[in-house]
Amino acid sequence: MKKYLLLILIIGFTGCTSKEEYILFNQATKKQNNTQIAQETLEQLNNVQFEYKIRPYDRVSIMVYKHPDISTSSPETLQQERGLLVNSKGDIRLPLIKKIHLQGLTQTEAEDTLEEAYSVYIKHPDIQVEVLNKKAYVIGEVKRPGEVPLANEQLSLLQILATAGDLTDSANRQSILIISEGTGEKPLTRVINLTDVNSLRTSNLMVKPNDIVYVTPNNMKAFNTGVNEIDPIFNLIGHVLAPFVNIKFLSQ
């Protein structure tokens, strides 16, 4: 009888161990699969071809080659000119063609649209369009938060952080958020960990116009901020109780 009991215990223990090992292995496999999916997603984001689309209240520079009289600027003063403002309806007004709709068009599409419109008045028009106010925004734990101009359409995250003067000592290098416009009302948020093994690759995620880079504070800064907020309350209580404490002490 004792032999049968011992055999049952051994089988039961072995079965539990095997099941636990299977669960742990399954969890490890699932974690590995999630990591692989995340890496593939990052690679897809890096490989996406992006071209900015004109929106209301943008300022655009329009240069018609060999026709400076109907251009908004010349090549020498392109960056200094304020350009033309796209109105709330997405239109601009130009000589000869008057009002034309540019909202929702890429720069290439806008050039094609303008060339087609000007071809009625000019033989083989050659037009260059540039949006002058493309920028991203950096907030949080950087030394110089604010706007970052994107003259080259987009910049890598490392370039953005370098332009903002690098991270502060209170920055959480494991949680840098890039907030972009999504397909609907919900924004697209990417979390970048600069301390990860793949940081050199993930940190090169491209920051596009109107993106927000938010460098979160580390836990120590959050703790210090909480202490600083509570400290004046304790000081106030101390000042209120001080006379009563002195009186009690003198009475003794």
- CA–CA dist 26, 238 (Å, integer): 57
Q: Residue 221 has what pLDDT?
A: 55
The list of the chain residues with pLDDT below 50 reads 2-31, 34-35, 37-38, 41-42, 45-46, 75-80, 223-227, 234, 244-245, 247-251
Are 113 and 100 contacting, i.e. CB atoms less than 8 angstroms apart?
yes
- CA–CA dist 146, 155 (Å, integer): 15
Are 154 and 208 contacting, i.e. CB atoms less than 8 angstroms apart?
yes
Same domain, yes or no: 64 and 113: yes
CATH number at residue 189: 3.10.560.10
pTM of this structure = 0.63
CATH number at residue 68: 3.30.1950.10
Same domain, yes or no: 80 and 92: yes
Residue 236 lies in a domain: no
Same domain, yes or no: 148 and 107: no
Which value, to the nearest 10 degrees, does the dihedral of the CA atoms of residues 37, 39, 40, 46 take? 150
Same domain, yes or no: 157 and 188: yes
Residue 69 structural domain:
59-131
Report the candidate in 142, 132, 107 with the shortest Cα–Cα distance to residue 212: 142
Question: What token pair was written down for 62?
Answer: 């329009």
Same domain, yes or no: 161 and 121: no
Could you give phi then psi for residue 190, rounded to 5 degrees? -115, 135
Q: Residue 5 has what pLDDT?
A: 46
Q: Where is the domain boundary, 131, 147, 169?
A: 131
Number of structural domains the chain divides into: 2
Q: Is 102 exposed, middle or buried (0-12, 13-18, 19+ CB in 10 A)?
A: buried
Q: Residue 238 has what pLDDT?
A: 52
Which single residue is written with the structure tokens 């890096």? 46
- CA–CA dist 41, 45 (Å, integer): 6
Q: How many residues does the chain have?
A: 252
Question: What token pair was written down for 194?
Answer: 């600069």
Residue 24 lies in a domain: no
Which of the 8 DSSP states describes residue 134? -
Same domain, yes or no: 121 and 143: no
